[in-house]
Amino acid sequence: MTDTTPRTLDCGKTIEELSDYLSADRIPYDPSIETCPECLNALEALSGVSQLSRDLLAHDAANLPAPPANWMEQLMATIHDEVRAGRSVPLHHPDPRVILTVTEGALRALIRNVGDDVPGIMIGKCQFNGDVETPGAPVDVTVTASIAWKYPIPEAASELRDAVRETLTTHTHLNVMSVNVTVEDLHGYNTTTQEMP
């Protein structure tokens, strides 16, 4: 059964509205979207989905297995969940009177950007397990991904794991105990016998 319930962000915009706005090449300019961090994170994630869809269509459709019927709906639901602000993660500052935080949503967007830099990777979900609001508390990071069929899974997963850990170490003060990468599927899989490029 198809879920047609609009997915609304905390700012009031829906994923469907943002998808339409992106489809129109962000014209006319909408300042309520373009100045909203939550909307901008969603637009970036939707852009990645759009590019993946174009890449898949570029393959010979006769040689590709059909994606699950609800594939796009699952991606849209994931984007909705991922761009929500979530908990506030404290950042250190030398002045004790200054309180700095970054949201989980912003960190998920950061990890999504890191994933875009790893060849063949499409980030699915990202979850922070543990008390991210208490400095020094142990935190485990779980990332799901789809990998293009021509890339070796262990190497791509390892590269993503290292990139996520390095980024979180550089930009946060989280006590990251582990980064777990789960490859949920392959995209662009060709069922015909071909030599690897």
Residues in the chain: 197
* Residue 56 is assigned to a structural domain of this protein: yes
Contact 115, 122 (CB under 8 A): yes
- Mean pLDDT: which of 41-55, 77-91, 114-128, 162-176 is highest? 162-176
pLDDT of 192: 41
The dihedral formed by the CA atoms of 58, 144, 78 and 4, expressed in degrees to the nearest 10: 70
Judged by phi (left if over 0) then psi (alpha if -120 to 50, else beta), residue 139 lies in beta
* Residue 4 is assigned to a structural domain of this protein: no
pLDDT digits (tens, 9 = 90+) for 106-129: 888 889 888 888 888 888 888 999
* Residue 73 is assigned to a structural domain of this protein: yes
> Could you tell me the pLDDT band of residue 20, with boundaries at 50, 70 and 90?
confident
pLDDT of 128: 93
Q: What percent of the chain has pLDDT over 90?
A: 19
Q: Is the pLDDT of residue 1 over 50?
A: no
Q: Is the pLDDT of residue 90 over 80?
A: yes
Exposed/middle/buried for 52, CB within 10 Å: 0-12, 13-18, 19+? middle
Show the tokens assigned to 21.
């706005």
* Residue 2 is assigned to a structural domain of this protein: no
- Long-range contacts at 48-55 (CB < 8 A, ≥ 24 apart): 48/112, 48/116, 48/122, 48/123, 49/75, 49/76, 49/79, 50/22, 52/122, 52/187, 55/187, 55/188
* Residue 3 is assigned to a structural domain of this protein: no
CATH number at residue 57: 3.30.70.1350
The parent domain of residue 66 ranges over 15-187
pLDDT of 54: 55
Structural domain count, the chain: 1
* Residue 194 is assigned to a structural domain of this protein: no
Q: What percent of the chain has pLDDT over 70?
A: 73
Q: Is the pLDDT of residue 191 over 70?
A: no
- For helices 104-116 and 71-83, give the axis angle rounded to 10 degrees: 130
Average pLDDT of span 1-12:
68
Show the tokens assigned to 167.
């980024």
pLDDT digits (tens, 9 = 90+) for 128-158: 999 999 988 999 999 998 888 788 888 889 9
* Residue 43 is assigned to a structural domain of this protein: yes
Average pLDDT of span 48-59:
58
* Residue 35 is assigned to a structural domain of this protein: yes
Averaged pLDDT of the chain:
78
pLDDT of 60: 43
